[in-house]
Chain A
Amino acid sequence: MSTGLSDNEIIGKVLRGDQQAYAGLVERYQNYVFTLAMRFTKNREDAEEASQDIFIKAYRSLADFRGASKFSTWLYTIVNTTCITFLRKRKLETYSLDHEKIFEMADSKDSGFRANLVEQKSRTNMVNEAITLLGHDDAEIITLFYKAEQSLEEIGKILGLDPKTAKVRLHRARQRLKEKMETYFAEEVKDLN
């Protein structure tokens, strides 16, 4: 397997014809891609389908990766375009992420939603649920910074922003996330303390 090799070394192997080496890249970035896809699709099944498309597209365009940026940065551009195309194709109802509306919708679609929220006490679930209550821009920057562990410079590159603007946007997103957690997950936050 390609474990232990750097991204560029694996890419080199794949480009030289070792298709199986690509599995190393998939394993390394599947959670990153899947989490980002979840921010767009809001459900696991669609996120998984979109993530597969993303890795297939990335494989087909691998010769275009010049190594000027990190592989994850390049991959994010594919995540973004593929997810938008995916949603367009599916004609998914794009929900307004206004919290009142989302709870109204959740109540009407699944009365067990709130009950499930209370049950989901794990840190990851709570944070992920809170992130889904944010607007796309806020959710995106928090996911990139905390979950994908991208630096502000890299986030700036990915989102086409100045690192200072990315920093301000991150501050605001964290503030809004904190408010959501305090409003909707006060009990869980208390339990975690």
Chain B
Amino acid sequence: METQKHIEEHLWDYIDGTISSEEKTIIEQLLLSNTEWKNKYLELLETHRILQSSGLEAPSLRFTKNVMEGISKYHIAPATKTYINKRIIWGIGFFFIAIFVGFLVYGFGQIDWTAKGDNNLSIDLSRLDINKFFNNTYINIFMMINVVLGLFLLDNYFSHKRKSFQKKV
């Protein structure tokens, strides 16, 4: 199976003319001496010829006229580079990076690294103080990591959605 695939790849390269002259000579010798190569070559060549001889599809005769009527309402927009200031793009990028870094710095700044974890949790649920959990240093770290991971996941989700749509169409 693998050999068959290998033969086909070489033969397609030979048909497309994307091989060196030495490889070409070797394949030509194989085509003369080896029936398997010769039969496969004829088979692939036929597919290639059918594909080559099939033309492009043409739209209706009025197509050019319709397009020309369509563009008559428009003007050519100025080239993007003439109105997009790269400094603004960089500025926006730096703004978001600054917010992200600021958030991390603030989050880490809130952490009392010397504090011990509060392990004296009451078993009595009626006297449970939820604030106790959110004041905990480790909860702060956990929440911060979650927010960052959430952003990554959201980005991943949107890019996956876009890719799967493109694949579908």
Chain A residues within CB distance 8 Å of chain B: 14-15, 19-20, 22-23, 26-27, 30-32, 34-35, 38, 40, 44, 47-48, 51-52, 55-56, 59-64, 83-84, 87-88, 94, 123-124, 126-128, 136-137, 142, 146-148, 152, 167-168, 170-171, 174-175, 177-178, 181, 189, 192-193
Contacts and interface: CB of A to CB of B under 8 A. Distances in A.
Nearest to A122: B54
A128 B51 CA distance: 9
B166 A146 contact: no
Q: Which 7 residue pairs are nearest across A and B when measured between Cβ atoms? A: A127-B54, A31-B56, A63-B79, A34-B59, A94-B168, A124-B54, A55-B67
B68 A22 contact: yes
Most buried by A among B53, B56, B165: B56
B64 A27 contact: yes
A181 B46 CA distance: 12
Contact of A30 (B48, B51, B63, B75): B63
Chain A binding surface SS class: helix
Given A20-B68, A63-B78, 16 more contacts: A27-B64, A30-B59, A30-B64, A47-B59, A55-B70, A60-B77, A61-B77, A64-B80, A64-B81, A136-B169, A152-B18, A177-B47, A181-B47, A189-B46, A189-B50, A192-B50
B81 to A, nearest CB: 8
Contact of B67 (A52, A94, A146): A52
Interface of B: 8-9, 12-13, 16, 18, 43-44, 46-48, 50-60, 63-64, 66-68, 70-72, 74-81, 165-169
A189 B93 CA distance: 57
Given A19-B71, A63-B78, A34 B56 contact: yes
B40 to A, nearest CB: 11
A66 B48 CA distance: 34
Contacts of B74: 56, 59-60
Contacts of B71: 19, 22, 55-56, 59-60
A171 B80 contact: no
B70 A31 contact: no
B44 to A, nearest CB: 8
Nearest to A53: B70
A110 B59 CA distance: 23
Given A26-B63, A34-B57, A59-B76, A175 B50 contact: no
B59 A31 contact: yes
A178 B47 contact: yes
Nearest to B51: A146
B55 A147 contact: yes
A152 B166 CA distance: 22
A83 B165 CA distance: 12
B10 to A, nearest CB: 10
